[in-house]
Structure 1
């Protein structure tokens, strides 16, 4: 057994697929492959997975992901049809228009998840900048990144988890979490930068994060109300929904939460206006191709 191996935990019935991040004597540090979970485990409790595609856990996740992606694309199609109809009725003719979706700044503590996230932003044509940074560095980095990129939406995510042997009443304390304090610090910086919750939409948290603390600090959407595992793409789904919801409309909470892979126990939030704008007329000059999503790494 070595760093990089795919494994499951025997004592948990192999419910989550992990990759070994590091081996420390008798224990291994694990990162979820589908869920934003950071964990450790005794090495004897681990079982190497040779073909992850055929594990029951991976198959179930894949089905949920496909359903979520289909729902997202269908919603975009309906939105485009609705916009075209509104313009036609208002002008009594068909008029070409252009779209200005909300711009995303995505900070992620996991580079593999970041790459998957940026691929999804690109496929949905959401302008996005991705930054790979350790959770503890995010608050300091946001002081520089927010004025530089001036995003409409900021995603603050990575890995988290409830520490072992914590009682129910301990869940109210940030000290019971692996990275929730770091996320709270980053949310505070972002909210100090833009105090209007409709001026900057903040999506924060990872698996089992302190949902209440993140919202109280200023996040619009956060995980995890039920202290459950959330899928790696759940924060991305919310950001895309915010990017393509009109500035004239409130993001439908029930709709956006239902659309995530983890559901109501995984993510929650408050009423928030969208960041999508429509303009006209559409330029007749074809601009040079531009990159919608880009990734930057930190050292």
Structure 2
């Protein structure tokens, strides 16, 4: 089969359940990254079914539809939060008071440049301040400290690709995961800079990541409790929800993960405060 870097493929041995992008071809083996899911894998070329142009266009349309559904869902939540803000800052609509918002700033580290581009585009569409950095997962622990000092974010997202590899050992050993160790080390380095969970909100993990390890390292939210695959945009939803939740409020973990594309099997975390701050008065010449 003529498989090259950039092709979309499925694996016969897994009943063609997941669509991957080919990122490298080494002899008779291909390295793969999930097209919608943050999963890394490899497979012999003989196991791959190439997705042809017509099916590829249909797949791309399906992906766009999911992203649009995600965006509309979040915008609906954002409108509800704004209505509440309008009510509270006007003392129950007793005063006509304009106000401004300081939304939480996100530092997003991603092991996949393609996903990073999609995520930063969605942050910007949602009005979330973001600084995105593409880094291989193994380099994240050595880079995160200086990036935190430079960006001074309220929210840190540490993601990319991962996988649980049963051939390496059981679920409760970090060596059994492709990149969970690097994610956990990155969280620990970040906590050396900002130890408090409510002063720097951290999401860490990707598909099938070692959830318990990442929480113990100091993450507020992580994947994947049931070692399932997570959608590429789930970290964006978590970060955006925190960014737009007032700092006096706590984010319900159940409500948060209920509205992700993956759900509670793929995401979890600890009770956490929002980071949005409101102020007044607002002057048009300061816009």
TM-score by length of 2: 0.94
- Cα distance in structure 2, aligned partners of 1:200 and 1:72: 22
Does 1:180 find its partner at 2:161? no
Match of residue 291 from structure 1: none
Match of residue 96 from structure 1: 98
Matched residue SS, 2:69: helix
Q: 1:96 offset after TM fit, Å?
A: 0.8
Match of residue 67 from structure 1: 69
Match of residue 242 from structure 2: 242
1:35-46 equivalences under 5 Å are 35-46=37-48
Matched residue SS, 2:131: strand
Could you list the per-position Cα deviations for residues 153-188 of structure 1 after superposition, in whole angstroms to 9, with x for gaps in the alignment? 000000100125356xx1100000000000011000
- Cα distance in structure 2, aligned partners of 1:180 and 1:15: 23
Match of residue 137 from structure 1: 139
- Cα distance in structure 2, aligned partners of 1:216 and 1:139: 16
Higher relative CO (Cα under 8 Å, sequence separation at least 6) belongs to 1
Report if aligned partners of 1:209, 1:227 keep a CA contact under 8 Å in 2.
yes
Structure 1 residues 72 and 155, CA gap change in structure 2 (3 angstroms):
same
Does 1:121 find its partner at 2:123? yes
What is the RMSD computed on CA atoms of the aligned residues? 1.7
Report if aligned partners of 2:167, 2:176 keep a CA contact under 8 Å in 1.
no
- Cα distance in structure 1, aligned partners of 2:224 and 2:61: 21
Report if aligned partners of 1:87, 1:94 keep a CA contact under 8 Å in 2.
no
Match of residue 148 from structure 1: 150
1:148-297 equivalences under 5 Å are 148-165=150-167, 170-287=170-287
Structure 2 unaligned segments of length 5 or more: list them.
Answer: none
Could you list the per-position Cα deviations for residues 248-291 of structure 1 after superposition, in whole angstroms to 9, with x for gaps in the alignment? 0001111110111110011100000000011101123144xxxx
- Cα distance in structure 1, aligned partners of 2:227 and 2:201: 22
- Cα distance in structure 2, aligned partners of 1:171 and 1:140: 26
Report if aligned partners of 1:84, 1:94 keep a CA contact under 8 Å in 2.
no
Match of residue 58 from structure 2: 54
Match of residue 9 from structure 2: 7
